[in-house]
């Protein structure tokens, strides 16, 4: 989640990082954290090395900077910040292998980061949540999503922070122009709406067919006939072809594709194409998460005033009675490395992490980056964004499906490659075989 298109470099770097970790582990050097130049304590309260997914271009970067600045001013503890790019997982693994591990990684739970606890890159945080007084305020569902296996009782891999809702966006003005009275609730209504939209020259559903946005929408549709437990198992272990309800969902996807529900050439589009075509009124429907609420307003098109949030329409006989959407807390959280858990560092890390969970700080992130708070509290006054306000009422209108991130794990990139074909001309059989192969590789 929260990923831009992987590059060829990513694959090379991933291979290199993996091989490097293996090579150095065999030399017995990766276990011992060595203090690098960045680890040198600052005069005063010491220092913390942080790698963050919230890079400068991210809507949460400003709120993050305010936290760091205030923290340093209050405690004298210096933050050595390194920005993690698309290859943040490889960057961190290479640093750990080089003996220059950061203390804290602000990253989303996806792909390789899911394996960090097993690999010994990070430590479990169950006890810290209790000792640091966060347990009472943290939402149990947020914690569970960060547990191994995504279930209560599993070891806690990190502290969730950035939750999100991920609905369908409907441009009501364009729907009205095409003669569609209300947002479609069933797939038949969606097909009908797509025909009407196309008749007046407006694209129907836009999505990044060759990146993570397309991957998520595919899974949302493919699990239409499947219960959550079965879907999680299939995502984790494979069995797309062998599970009739999943196969039926994949068939539904290709039926919708063949009925031209998606915009033209969707297989070649990226997330940026999706945002631009929706914001500019070239397409009437898109699937995007809470992080885009503030971005849409910043586009200056007024699209936020013409948008109604809802779910993806469901077919008859579906496992869900309402249109579907995603909701989750695997956005961005805090993962503590072995270095960060060392006796000389853990108290500094505690001070920084707990600072993030202050109610005003969380509120600042709600206001700036439209995050769904991971802690209980009244954040309504911070939800100034109109779409964020609207999303708070989603629960009554949608049902939430299984977000694939935690379950597909490291197979995410190969699966996205398979699904680019699904948005093209691949048959249901070809798609399910491709997914099984990518999952079991």
Partner 1 sequence: MKWRKGGPLATVLSWVYVLILAAPLYYLVVSALKTNIEIFTRPFSLPAKWLWENFGTAWETARLGRALLNSVLVSGVAIVLTLLLAIPAAYALARTDNRLSKLITGTFSAGFLIPPFAALIPTVVLAIQTGLFGTREFQMLFLPASALPLSVLLLVQFMLTVPSSLVESASMEGAGHWLLLTRVYVPIAMPGVVSVAILQLLTFWNEYLFALTITGTAPDVRTVQVALPTLVSDATNLGVLAAGTVLTVLPVYVAYSLLNRRMQEALTAGAVKG
Q: Give the nearer residue to partner 1 in terms of CB position, either 4 or 75.
A: 4
Contact stretch for partner 1 (CB under 8 A) within 144-152, 189-197, 220-228, 270-278: 270-278
Contact stretch for partner 1 (CB under 8 A) within 82-90, 308-316, 401-409, 417-425: 82-90
Q: Give the nearer residue to partner 1 in terms of CB position, either 13 or 121.
A: 13
Query: Binding marks (x or -) toward partner 1, 35..74, rule CB under 8 A?
Result: -xxx----------------xxxxx---------------
Cβ 249 to partner 1 shortest distance, Å:
26
**What's the per-residue H, E or C state across the chain?**
CCCCCCCHHHHHHHHHHHHHHHHHHHHCCCCCCCCCHHHCCCCCCCEEEEEECCCCCCCCHHHHHHHHHHHHHHHCCEEEEEECCCCHHHHHHHHHHCCCCCCEEEECCCHHHHHHHHHCCECCCHHHHHHCCCCCCECHHHHHHCEHHHCCCCCECCEEEEEEEECEEEEHHHHHHCCCCCCCCEHHHHHHHHHHHHHCCCEEEECCCCCHHHHHHHHHHHCCCCCHHHHHHHHHHCCCCCCHHHHHHHHHHHHHHHCCCECCCHHHCCHHHHHHHHHCCCEEEEECCCHHHHHHHHCCCCHHHCEEEECECECCCCCCCCCEEEEEEEEEEEEEECCCCCCCCHHHHHHHHHHHCCHHHHHHHHHHHCCECCECCCCHHHCCCHHHHHHCCHHHCCEECCCCHHHHHHHHHHHHHHHHHHCCCCCHHHHHHHHHHHHHC
Residue 206 in contact with partner 1, rule: CB under 8 A: no
Q: Give the nearer residue to partner 1 in terms of CB position, either 8 or 396.
A: 8
**What's the per-residue H, E or C state across 300-314?**
CCCHHHCEEEECECE
Residue 165 in contact with partner 1, rule: CB under 8 A: no
Residue 410 in contact with partner 1, rule: CB under 8 A: no
Cβ 279 to partner 1 shortest distance, Å:
6
Residue 307 in contact with partner 1, rule: CB under 8 A: no
Site for partner 1 in 7-26 (CB under 8 A): 9, 12-13, 16-17, 19-20, 23-24
Site for partner 1 in 92-151 (CB under 8 A): 94-95, 97-100
| Number of residues located near partner 1, criterion CB under 8 A | 52
Q: Give the nearer residue to partner 1 in terms of CB position, either 275 or 356.
A: 275
Residue 295 in contact with partner 1, rule: CB under 8 A: yes
Q: Which of 75, 82, 230, 351 binds partner 1 (CB under 8 A)?
A: 82
Cβ 360 to partner 1 shortest distance, Å:
24
Residue 172 in contact with partner 1, rule: CB under 8 A: no
Contact stretch for partner 1 (CB under 8 A) within 65-73, 253-261, 277-285, 339-347: 277-285
Q: Which of 32, 74, 227, 272 binds partner 1 (CB under 8 A)?
A: 272
Q: Is the dihedral of CA 176, 304, 219, 373 positive or negative?
A: negative
Residue 368 in contact with partner 1, rule: CB under 8 A: no
Contact stretch for partner 1 (CB under 8 A) within 292-300, 336-344, 377-385, 400-408: 292-300
In this structure, which long-range contacts are made by residues 111-120, counting pairs with CB atoms below 8 Å and at least 24 apart in sequence? 111/409, 111/410, 111/412, 111/413, 112/14, 112/410, 113/89, 113/335, 114/157, 114/406, 114/409, 114/410, 115/409, 115/410, 116/92, 116/157, 116/335, 117/148, 117/155, 117/157, 119/21, 119/93, 120/31, 120/338
Contact stretch for partner 1 (CB under 8 A) within 91-99, 130-138, 335-343, 424-432: 91-99
Residue 386 in contact with partner 1, rule: CB under 8 A: no
Q: Is the dihedral of CA 428, 431, 437, 440 positive or negative?
A: negative
Q: Give the nearer residue to partner 1 in terms of CB position, either 323 or 404.
A: 404
Contact stretch for partner 1 (CB under 8 A) within 5-13, 134-142, 155-163, 172-180: 5-13
Cβ 386 to partner 1 shortest distance, Å:
17
Residue 166 in contact with partner 1, rule: CB under 8 A: no
Cβ 187 to partner 1 shortest distance, Å:
28
Q: Which of 110, 128, 262, 279 binds partner 1 (CB under 8 A)?
A: 279
- Give me the residues that bind partner 1 (CB under 8 A), please: 2-4, 9, 12-13, 16-17, 19-20, 23-24, 36-38, 55-59, 80-87, 90-91, 94-95, 97-100, 271-273, 275-277, 279-280, 282, 289, 291-292, 295, 299-301
């Amino acid at each position: 989640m929260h990923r831009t298109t992987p590059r060829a470099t990513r694959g090379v770097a991933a291979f290199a990082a993996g091989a490097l970790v293996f090579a150095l582990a065999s030399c017995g050097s990766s276990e011992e954290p060595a203090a690098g130049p960045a680890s040198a304590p600052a005069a005063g309260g010491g220092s913390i090395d942080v790698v963050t997914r919230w890079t400068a271009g991210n809507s949460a970067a400003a709120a993050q900077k305010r936290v760091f600045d205030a923290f340093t001013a209050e405690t004298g503890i210096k933050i050595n910040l390194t920005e993690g790019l698309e290859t943040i997982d490889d960057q961190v693994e290479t640093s750990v292998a080089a003996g220059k591990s950061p203390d804290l990684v602000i990253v989303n739970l996806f792909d390789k980061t899911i394996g960090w606890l097993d690999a010994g890159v990070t430590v479990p945080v169950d006890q810290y949540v209790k000792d640091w007084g966060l347990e009472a305020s943290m939402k149990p569902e947020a914690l569970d999503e960060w547990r191994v296996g995504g279930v209560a009782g599993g070891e806690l891999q990190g502290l969730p922070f950035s939750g999100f809702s991920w609905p369908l966006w409907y441009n009501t003005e364009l729907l009205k122009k095409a003669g569609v009275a209300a947002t479609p609730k069933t797939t038949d209504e969606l097909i009908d709406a797509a025909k009407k939209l196309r008749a007046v020259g407006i694209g129907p559903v836009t999505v990044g067919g060759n990146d993570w946005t397309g991957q998520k929408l595919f899974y949302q549709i493919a699990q239409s006939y499947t219960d959550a437990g079965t879907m999680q198992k299939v995502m984790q272990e494979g069995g797309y072809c062998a599970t009739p309800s999943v196969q039926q969902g994949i068939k539904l996807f290709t039926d919708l594709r063949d009925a031209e529900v998606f915009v033209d050439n969707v297989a070649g589009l990226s997330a940026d194409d999706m945002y631009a075509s929706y914001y500019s009124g070239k397409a009437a429907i898109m699937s995007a998460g809470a992080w885009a609420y503030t971005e849409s307003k910043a586009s200056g098109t007024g699209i936020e005033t013409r948008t109604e949030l809802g779910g993806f329409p469901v077919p008859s006989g579906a496992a869900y009675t309402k249109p579907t959407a995603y909701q989750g807390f695997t956005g961005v959280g805090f993962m503590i490395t072995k270095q960060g858990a060392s006796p000389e560092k853990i108290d500094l890390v505690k001070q920084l992490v707990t600072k993030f969970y202050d109610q005003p700080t969380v509120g600042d992130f709600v206001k700036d980056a439209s995050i769904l708070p991971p802690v209980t509290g009244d954040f309504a006054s911070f939800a100034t964004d109109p779409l964020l306000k609207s999303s708070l009422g989603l629960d009554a209108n949608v049902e939430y499906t299984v977000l694939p991130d935690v379950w597909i794990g490291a197979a995410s990139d190969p699966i996205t490659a398979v699904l680019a074909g699904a948005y093209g001309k691949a048959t249901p059989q070809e798609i399910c075989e491709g997914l099984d192969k990518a999952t079991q590789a």
